[in-house]
């Protein structure tokens, strides 16, 4: 009989725990921003911190991952290659909200550098070694999504 009481209490404990976490701001209710988030573009790219593809150690040191552009943010998620765990690559991964962006720069490497406001090194840094047309499309998608977001958030510079 005791195990049944335990099972009946689990849902009640879960509900109370969620209410307590929300009350003390340890968790957040989904905001309207998340409901307006729509994926614009997804590409497989390399983290820009690695060597050029002509380097003999490219396969060993390169970190290929997924670069995602949405209507509210941009991000790079590492792949499963061992190099992605390197501190060299860890500095330029994650998600950056458009409100955090100071500058978007494209280099001749070809490389996309995205700088966070108030910081010098790029927060996100990705490069493409094979599909120049795809890379150009991705850069255009990012710039268009970022400009659209900025036009709706004129209070943020």
Residues 54 and 112 grouped into a single domain: yes
Mean pLDDT of the chain: 80
The predicted-structure confidence for 5-61, as pLDDT tens digits, reads as follows 444 444 444 444 444 433 433 333 344 455 689 999 999 998 988 888 889 998 899
> What is the helix (H) or strand (E) element at residue 90, kind and residue range?
helix 87-90
pLDDT at 157: 59
The model's pTM: 0.74
Range of the domain at 105: 32-152
- Count of beta carbons in the 10 Å neighbourhood of residue 75: 17
pLDDT at 2: 52
Residues 112 and 50 grouped into a single domain: yes
- Cβ contacts of residue 141 below 8 Å, gap of 6+? 40, 41, 69
The predicted-structure confidence for 75-87, as pLDDT tens digits, reads as follows 999 999 889 998 8
Query: Structural domain tally of the chain?
Result: 2
Q: Are 62 and 81 in contact (CB under 8 A)?
A: yes
């Amino acid at each position: 009989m005791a195990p049944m009481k335990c099972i009946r209490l689990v849902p009640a404990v879960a509900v109370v725990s969620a209410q307590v976490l929300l009350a003390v701001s340890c968790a957040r209710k989904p905001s309207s921003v998340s409901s307006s988030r729509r994926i614009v573009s997804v590409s497989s790219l390399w983290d820009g911190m690695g060597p050029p593809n002509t380097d003999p150690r490219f396969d060993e040191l390169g970190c290929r991952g997924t670069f995602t552009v949405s209507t509210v943010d941009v991000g790079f998620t590492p792949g499963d290659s061992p190099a992605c765990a390197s501190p060299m690559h860890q500095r330029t991964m994650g998600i950056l909200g458009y409100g955090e962006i100071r500058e978007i720069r494209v280099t001749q490497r070809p490389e996309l550098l995205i700088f966070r406001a108030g910081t010098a090194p790029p927060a996100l840094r990705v490069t493409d070694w094979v599909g120049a047309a795809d890379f150009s499309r991705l850069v255009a998608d990012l710039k268009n999504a970022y400009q659209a977001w900025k036009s709706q958030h004129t209070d943020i510079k």
